[in-house]
Amino acid sequence: MKTPSTYQSKEELKKLAQRLAKGDTTAIDILYRLYFKRLQSYGRQIAGTNQGDLVSTVIQEFYMWLVKNHQKMATIEDFELYLFKSVRLNILNTLKKQQQKDFVAKKYVDTTRHTQAKTAPSPEEQLIDQESEQLQKDLIAQELNKLPTYQKEVLYLRYFQNYSYKEIGTILSVSEQVARNYAYRAVKGMKGRMKEKNPPLKESNDRSSQQ
């Protein structure tokens, strides 16, 4: 969970990005220390927990790119979202080059692009908030790896990084509504599996045997 004592405010981060855009190399050092572990943790949600070396390499190469192309940062509005979105795309591109398959997120986005129009709040959206409050983070962590990649990303960004659905949509290059749909399906699936693991107690037939 983000706390003021751990991470910079958006205003402070914007100033760091402006310093970087002007070629201040100390700014990249601060940004590296602030975000490397968070980006690494997020990257493993995309690539898999066994791809730590690949994720670290991608992040380091991206920071090197930032140093060489620092002037481009002058036009970035939200630098934090830019970091997460860029690292995500770089990891996906690296995995694609290595011929690693089955990235459900890409296929899902392509096949549901027509559903990305903005809609009014729905009962499903309300259910997300109601049910997600009851799911403890430790239970989410246990079930997280069982989810398709796109659902795992959304829950990780929502519950472990505290991003809004609009911000998650920006990172994943989908609409806010699609991000909510991902979360709803993930929570619904996890809830169903939990019910299967803990079925309600059935009424005993002891009475009939005692009569």
pLDDT of residue 120: 55
Q: Is 88 in contact with 46 (CB distance < 8 Å)?
A: yes
Q: Is 147 in contact with 192 (CB distance < 8 Å)?
A: no
DSSP string, the chain: ---TTTS--HHHHHHHHHHHHTT-HHHHHHHHHHHHHHHHHHHHHHH-TT-HHHHHHHHHHHHHHHHHTGGGGGG-S-HHHHHHHHHHHHHHHHHHHTT----HHHHHHHHTGGG-S-----HHHHHHHHHHTTS-HHHHHHHHTTS-HHHHHHHIIIIIS---HHHHHHHHTS-HHHHHHHHHHHHHHHHHHHHHHSPPPPPP-HHHHH-
pLDDT of residue 56: 93
DSSP string, 52-64: HHHHHHHHHHHHH
Q: Which residues contact 92 (CB under 8 A, 6 or more apart)?
A: 46, 103, 106
pLDDT of residue 141: 61
Domain ranges, ordered by start, for the chain: 10-100, 106-197
pLDDT of residue 50: 86
Joined tokens for residue 24:
């201040």
Return the biggest CA–CA distance within the chain: 88
pLDDT of residue 1: 40
Whole-model pTM: value is: 0.62
What is the residue whose two structure tokens read 């659902």?
A: 151
Q: Does domain 106-197 have CATH number 1.10.10?
A: yes
Q: How far apart (Å, rounded) are the C-alpha atoms in residues 207 and 185? A: 41
pLDDT of residue 210: 45
Tell me the CATH number for domain 10-100: 1.10.1740
pLDDT of residue 2: 44
pLDDT of residue 211: 42
Joined tokens for residue 51:
């791809």
pLDDT of residue 188: 84
pLDDT of residue 85: 95
Count of beta carbons in the 10 Å neighbourhood of residue 41: 14
Residues with pLDDT less than 50, the chain: 1-6, 100-105, 108, 201-211
